[in-house]
Homo-oligomer: A and B are copies of this chain.
């Protein structure tokens, strides 16, 4: 089942000619989730052919402008383009008042239900739960309150092949019983144990979005067991002091987090505009962790 992220923006602070501010769209089992929404996100969606009306949930990490200033334009454009479906925005407590004040000033009465959910950025918690997915927020270590988001597939039931079903003549109630780990008695009186016919399902995939944060053991703890980690690397180690004082991470620190969390893949982003090229971020992180990718606008990463 599909599980991928499209990068709409991976630059830090002020937008540059090279990078847009933070935003990415996750497609998980054909549902779209927007994570962060910097200025110009709606234009990036148009550019990279992301269908904005398919997004029903938005997750904002913190109240620095490069992570949320595109939100009002996004919300307003969806209204102008005829949206009727509910939109839920998760983010820091300050978000709701800011949005309401702006909607009031423009005398915009949205034609779709909008719910703004205040996220407690101080503790890990499950904030979204559907048939096949849970989303957790978890605290990050930044200059202001900030949380990351963890997208976690639910455990799937074991599979039973069509061949096994035919071979044993299984009926639906028996299939359910076997998938739930219970033996069934067949027509011939013999007992069929679940392990005889059940195949292990794919392990759940987990994607963690960690931007913006200083290096943090707590982040490692919160995202343990992730398959893919997107971690900010605003700076290189040569700017480690600046990273520390501004509550950001270096590429090396991002790799340490990914390694300690047991991830299979690390995507680096939120690059400072002071660097002409980002190749050194990959070099630095690769000394610690062996599967590093550099984010760029328009790139699509599959979560395995």
Contact = CB atoms under 8 A, between A and B. Distances in A.
A15 B108 CA distance: 17
Contacts of A47: 17
Contacts of A102: 63, 65, 98
Contacts of A283: none
Contacts of A92: 105
A40 interface: yes
A94 B105 CA distance: 6
A106 interface: yes
Contact of A13 (B14, B16, B80, B144): B80
Contacts of A17: 46-47
Interface in A64-84: 64-66, 69-70, 72-73, 76-77, 80-81
A77 B143 contact: no
B105 A15 contact: no
A97 interface: yes
A32 B97 CA distance: 33
A126 interface: no
Contact of A43 (B15, B73, B94, B143): B15
A21 B72 CA distance: 13
Interface in A84-104: 92, 94-95, 97-98, 101-102, 104
A30 to B, nearest CB: 25
A39 interface: yes
Contacts of A250: none
A296 interface: no
A13 to B, nearest CB: 5
Nearest to A38: B73
A106 B63 contact: yes
Interface of A: 13-17, 21, 39-40, 42-43, 46-47, 63-66, 69-70, 72-73, 76-77, 80-81, 92, 94-95, 97-98, 101-102, 104-108, 143-144
20 contacts: A14-B80, A15-B73, A17-B46, A21-B73, A39-B39, A39-B40, A39-B43, A39-B69, A40-B40, A64-B106, A65-B76, A65-B102, A69-B69, A92-B105, A98-B98, A98-B101, A101-B101, A106-B144, A107-B143, A107-B144
Given A21-B73, A39-B70, 9 more contacts: A15-B42, A15-B73, A16-B46, A17-B46, A17-B47, A39-B43, A69-B76, A98-B98, A98-B102
